[in-house]
Chain A
């Protein structure tokens, strides 16, 4: 079974600063996909960034980037130049070879003005 662990229930960051959200996972599969999803107060889940496990290069998407350490089974999300609109719950997710998605418990990020 796959498990996804987010050890930071809540974090705060000042506007324009950088914050890193942590995620670890456990799997015996060699090829898989990892995701970060954002859930703002509207409740609509939005994909932030995706990483394919067989790609060594870390994914980036504008102000969002990941630090993927396959051997350590770690997948952290870095948000640069934080904006008020980044305030949301962030979920780390793992997709296995059978297309099942497993999610962590979430990190509530609060961006302060």
Chain B
């Protein structure tokens, strides 16, 4: 079975902390994504990676960075967490090419206090 695993289901961090959200996929997918989900706004793309060490900014990259040192792992980094980054974070992966779909992790609900 296809699997995308996010390291934490719930996380509480303090303002100003550096936060790492980890995502691992076991499907040998080239593409990996980080989305932020907020009520009424749906899923918004933060960053996209199409290969190891390759990344592209999405629609809302400010305040975030990413790391992809290995094909199966894609990390989202909040350099200095702020309360407005309290949200649900979803990781996804997909094969490169036309006949594909996005597979999602179970989400990390991050609260910054």
| A residues lining the B interface (CB < 8 Å) | 4, 6, 9, 33, 35, 37, 42-45, 47, 50, 52, 91, 93, 95, 99-106
Contact = CB atoms under 8 A, between A and B. Distances in A.
Contacts of A104: 42
Sorted nearest first, the 10 A-B pairs with minimum C-beta distance are A45-B104, A105-B42, A103-B43, A43-B107, A103-B42, A106-B42, A101-B102, A47-B101, A99-B31, A104-B42
Contact of A100 (B42, B48, B88, B97): B48
A33 B98 contact: yes
B106 interface: yes
B45 A91 contact: no
Contact of A105 (B40, B45, B90): B40
Interface residues of B, number: 25
Max count, chain B CB within 10 A of own CB: residue among A35, A43, A44, A50:
A43
A18 to B, nearest CB: 24
Interface string B36-79: 00001111110010100000001000000000000000000000
Contacts of B35: 103
A33 B45 CA distance: 17
A30 to B, nearest CB: 13
A47 B50 CA distance: 21
Contacts of A106: 42
Interface string B91-111: 010101110111010110000
Nearest to B58: A100
A27 B1 CA distance: 33
A102 B44 CA distance: 7
